[in-house]
Amino acid sequence: MSAASFESLKAVAGDVSRETFAALEAFEAHFLKWNRSINLVAASTEGDVWRRHILDSAQLAAIEPTAKRWVDVGSGGGFPGLVMAFLLGERGGSIDLVESNRKKTGFLQATVGQFRLPARIIAKRIEDSYPLVGMPEIVTARALASLIDLLDITEPWLASGAHALFHKGRDYQREIEESTHRWRFDLIEHPSAIDPQGVVLELRNVRRL
């Protein structure tokens, strides 16, 4: 167990048990083994999975420390959805992971089973998943689509009162501007704890114009 890695996790996610940290370390090795077979993330980031993907995902836990019901759309390689499943496990929460790619859902299912995570895999397109997902408090997405498209595909949950936490990169201001022509929302920009050019956009009270 690396003390520096444990401290880096607590720095971005808040209070985390040693057991959860150890599980996330084991998940990192598990992820890298799968990534060699099905290309879950770009090879260029394989050498820095802990920081670039795990810590980047874990920062959501500090932004929303009390929410218990989450849904992650376009879950792919499990970021942020699987990482949040590990963290929600010690908070009594759960998360639904929506992913339609068969190989990726296989990875997600195997991971949830191996680590006994409080997560369900919804192997559907996002627009077909709405009846299967219980009303979430938080909707997440990372590296999936532009903000205006994310708002379109998550509208059923956001219109019912869920909040969004969307990872965004350097062009996020342009995406916000484009979205205001179709949407109104209350917005908090959380500077990324990992990417100096990135943010996590927290959107509340989302409504279509």
Show Cβ contacts of residue 57 under 8 Å, excluding neighbours closer than 6 positions. 79, 80, 81, 82, 83, 84, 142
- d(C-alpha 45, C-alpha 60), whole Å: 20
Backbone dihedral region of 76: left (phi > 0), alpha (psi from -120 to 50 degrees) or beta? left
Can you give the CATH number for the domain in which 60 is found?
3.40.50.150
- Mean pLDDT for each consecutive 10-residue tract of the chain (209 residues)? 88 96 96 89 78 96 97 95 97 97 95 98 96 95 94 96 96 96 97 95 97
CA atoms of 9 and 16, how far apart (whole Å):
8
The pLDDT assigned to 1 comes to 53
Residue 106 lies in domain? 3-208
The pair of three-digit structure tokens given for residue 101, joined into one six-digit string: 């790619």
Q: Provide the pairing of β-strand 199-208 with 183-191.
A: antiparallel
**Strand ranges for the chain from DSSP E:** 69-73, 94-98, 119-122, 138-141, 163-168, 183-191, 199-208
The number of distinct structural domains making up the chain is 1
Q: What type of residue sits at position 30?
A: H
* pLDDT at residue 42 in the model: 73
